[in-house]
Homo-oligomer: A and B are copies of this chain.
Amino acid sequence: MPHRDASVETIQQEMTAFARRARATAARMHPELSLVSYTLLAHLDDQRGCRATDLAAHYLLDKSTVSRQIAALEKLGFVERRVDPDDQRVQVLHPTEKGAEVLAHVTESRRQAFHERLADWDEADLDRFAMYLRRYNAAQERID
């Protein structure tokens, strides 16, 4: 087997292994915010509010899924809805203060977990790994 194929094989295996574990790991670490709701809340925070439809489009989720996720986040008091005065159909979603706090807390704890996992990597390796991941995902997005 050519060397190139072996590398692709490894990448495939490792990405698969990672994907298999990721949600469960995230759920164990942060029972209060699943990987999906974390992502949605982070997006709201990042974008300073957006619509449910935008979330659905961005994350390739059905609008009903987003609707229920948002309903759950609202019930937890993490998200609030503001009806767009220019279009009564539209609800602009924002993290509440509480939501922003929880998000910051989870983000920080995730950040720390990543830092610990990568503690013995030198800066050049980290830099290259980050670059490769970004490149890989960017290529992926064009396909999905």
Interface residues of A (CB under 8 A from B): 3-4, 6-12, 14-26, 35-36, 39, 59-60, 110-111, 114-115, 117-118, 121, 123, 125-137, 139-140, 143-144
With A and B bound together, what is the CA distance between A131 and B6 in angstroms? 11
Give the dominant DSSP class at A's interface: helix
How many copies make up the complex?
2
Asked whether, in the complex, the Cβ of A8 is within 8 Å of the Cβ of B114, the reply is yes
Given the known A-B contacts A4-B126, A127-B3, are A137 and B39 also in contact in the complex, defined by CB atoms under 8 Å?
A: no
Asked whether, in the complex, the Cβ of A24 is within 8 Å of the Cβ of B133, the reply is no
Partner of A114 from B12, B35, B114 at Cβ < 8 Å: B12
Partner of A20 from B21, B36, B123 at Cβ < 8 Å: B36
Chain B residue, CB-CB nearest to A122:
B4
Given the known A-B contacts A114-B11, A128-B132, are A39 and B25 also in contact in the complex, defined by CB atoms under 8 Å?
A: no
A90 CB, min distance to chain B CBs, angstroms:
25
Asked whether, in the complex, the Cβ of A17 is within 8 Å of the Cβ of B132, the reply is no
Which residues of chain B are near A118, meaning CB under 8 Å? 8, 11, 136, 139
With A and B bound together, what is the CA distance between A125 and B133 in angstroms? 11
